[in-house]
Amino acid sequence: MPRRNRPGRRRGRPRGAGPGPAPRPLPAHGSAFTPTRVEPGPGRLAGEEFRVRDISAGQAVKWYRCPGCDQEIPPGVAHVVAWPESWGAGADDRRHWHRNCWAKRGHRGPTRRR
């Protein structure tokens, strides 16, 4: 049986449909995507409140260094991201912790000071 070279049905929007609806603005602290919670900070920052977000193994795509144990967190490992609520809004203020290290943060602070 010979092969047919006809184009099949196109997927997506038709050619003349235009750009579509405008994207919605991102919510503060990404709360619509991953829930955040507020917890006391680690070590000497225990009096300050930190925003904390759980990162699933599927979301973890880069290497990070945990400030609790000074070990690496490889891609594909579930962990926690924490940043100071009052003065930390930028990416430079976020720290990626192993879940167990974050749970034990009251007993030990960051191991390395930069």
Give the model's pLDDT for residue 78: 95
Residue 95 · residue 67 · CB < 8 Å: yes
Q: Which residue has the higher pLDDT, 75 or 107?
A: 75
Closest by CA to 50, choosing from 10, 99, 95, is 95
Would you put residue 111 in left (φ > 0), alpha (ψ -120 to 50) or beta? alpha
For 43-92, what is each residue's pLDDT tens digit? 776 678 889 999 999 989 999 999 999 999 999 999 999 988 877 566 77
**So what's the pLDDT on residue 23?**
63
Tens-digit pLDDT profile for residues 85-105: 877 566 778 899 999 999 988
The dihedral built from the CA positions of residue 30, 114, 39 and 48, taken in this order, carries a sign that is: negative
Q: Give residue 86's pLDDT.
A: 78
Task: Give a three-class secondary structure readout of 35-87.
Answer: CEEEEECCHHHCCCEEEEEEECCCCCCCCEECCCCCCEECCCCCEEEEEECCC
Mean pLDDT for the stretch of residues 3-31? 61
